[in-house]
Amino acid sequence: MVTIRDVAKQSGFSSTTVSIVLNNAPLARYIPAVTKKRIESTAKRLSYRPNLFARSLRSRRSHTVGVMVFDMTDPFCTPVLRGIENSLYQASFLPILTDVHNERSRFERYLEMLLDRRVEALIVVANWLFVNIDVLGDLEKSKIPTVMIGRELKNNSISSVIVDNELGAYLGVEHLYSLGHRKIAFLRGPKTLTDSAPRWKGIRSFAKSQGLEIDARLVADLPESRDPNSSFESGYKLTEEMLRTRRPFTALMAFDDMTAFGAMRALTMAGRRVPEQCSVLGFDDIAASSLCTPALTTVRQPMEDMGAMAAGIVLAGINAMREKRRQPATHRRLAPQLAARDSTREAS
């Protein structure tokens, strides 16, 4: 490898001068253009690349951000990751990707590894994260800018980016209601999942405002599970059971898209066509939603934006730290949008 000393020797200047010139340090003002040119050209000729280990050792900076995903297989992750990546790229930061597999031990191990590598910030994608996995304490200790995506926090040392679940659910029922649906079945999220409560609240809030009656016998809860993909199975089973009760409903609002897919399968198997005989509504707008037929009407989370925003937040935090400013945690709640597609239509 060619070092700064090689460039110094070849160009006839000292390594100090080379360093100043190549980094365009403040002192470079005083260095004559000829010198600069000579140094730059020999650097290029030798195709010199500074050793980042040495540089990082000195500067204590890694230009790296740790990204912790709680379950990579969750289709929610992919667009979020792209948003993060894109944002970091603009700032010449690189992400180190870790997948915690929803295991506490793995989380701890990875956190330690990332901190050892002096990542300058942490982005945690914790959408399908249960309250009982308490990781906030560990995260706070790290003292580097940290943001959680998909988990509401009032914490003032960890930032958060979430979708407005309440608003989303509100928009969802509103859509069904405006299509004339009055007998709506609801598949709520697992009780221990933090998204579940606000979404239900949004539904109740709309129901109250419009005098929509919610039949308790048309409400079911997904069981707790570590696996985001399990909600397909659960959605299928709960819908099957609900159909067996013979209690009529013209629309079904699922906790998320995965659940909605399960519900659609169950309805189809039972001979009820979607959307002709029953409308189905999801939440998230994962990739599969626009692909399947009928395309799923759903409440769209701006996942890529959320990733980009999270990256933006920690990047700002990094800059603040560099300038020794104290940056308070920021909490963003992004508005979802209804993506009206083919799985919903007027109640008949």
Partner DNA sequence: TCCCGAAGTTCGATTTAAATG
Partner DNA sequence: GCATTTAAATCGAACTTCGGG
> Which one of residues 23, 24, 156, 178 is an interface residue with DNA (CB under 7 A)?
23
Pick from DNA, a copy of itself, none: which does 20 bind, CB < 5 to 8 A by kind?
Answer: DNA
Across the chain, the runs of DSSP E, i.e. the strands, are: 64-69, 94-99, 121-125, 146-149, 159-163, 184-188, 219-221, 251-253, 279-284, 297-300, 331-334, 337-339
Binding flag, residue 43, DNA (CB under 7 A): no
Binding flag, residue 294, DNA (CB under 7 A): no
Pick from DNA, a copy of itself, none: which does 4 bind, CB < 5 to 8 A by kind?
Answer: DNA
Q: What distance lies between CA 313 and its chain's CA centroid?
A: 13
* Per-residue mark of binding to DNA, 231-250 (x: CB under 7 A): --------------------
The contacts of residue 296 (CB under 8 Å, 6+ apart) are 257, 260, 261, 264, 280, 281, 282, 288, 289, 290, 341, 342, 343
Query: Smaller CB distance to a copy of itself: residue 89 or 156?
Result: 89
Nearest to 259 by CA among 239, 276, 287: 239
Q: Which residues bind a copy of itself (CB under 8 A)?
A: 49-54, 56-57, 60, 62, 64, 67, 72-73, 75, 77-79, 81-82, 85-86, 89, 92, 94-99, 106, 113-118, 229, 232, 258, 261, 264-265, 268, 287-288, 291-295
Residue 217 near residue 245, CB atoms below 8 Å? yes
Q: How many CA atoms lie within 13 A of 195 on its CB side?
A: 27
Query: Smaller CB distance to a copy of itself: residue 178 or 229?
Result: 229
Tokens standing for residue 57: 């050792």
The contacts of residue 281 (CB under 8 Å, 6+ apart) are 172, 175, 176, 251, 252, 253, 254, 260, 296, 297, 298, 299, 343, 344
Binding flag, residue 17, DNA (CB under 7 A): yes
Pick from DNA, a copy of itself, none: which does 12 bind, CB < 5 to 8 A by kind?
Answer: DNA
Pick from DNA, a copy of itself, none: which does 311 bind, CB < 5 to 8 A by kind?
Answer: none
In three-state secondary structure terms, 61 is coil
> Which one of residues 9, 10, 24, 31 is an interface residue with DNA (CB under 7 A)?
31
Tell me the one-letter amino acid at 197: A
Task: Give the nearest distance from C-beta 53 to a copy of itself in angstroms.
Answer: 4
Query: Smaller CB distance to DNA: residue 44 or 55?
Result: 55
Q: What are phi and psi of 310, to 5 degrees?
A: -60, -45
CA distance 288 to 261: 9
Task: Give the nearest distance from C-beta 80 to a copy of itself in angstroms.
Answer: 10
Distances (CA, A) of 148 to 136, 202, 331, 341: 10, 22, 9, 30
* Per-residue mark of binding to DNA, 51-90 (x: CB under 7 A): x-xxx-xxx-------------------------------
Tell me the one-letter amino acid at 208: K
Pick from a copy of itself, DNA, none: which does 329 bind, CB < 5 to 8 A by kind?
Answer: none
Query: Smaller CB distance to a copy of itself: residue 202 or 275?
Result: 275
Which residues bind to DNA, rule: CB under 7 A?
Answer: 1, 3-5, 12-17, 19-20, 22-23, 25, 27, 29-32, 35, 48-51, 53-55, 57-59
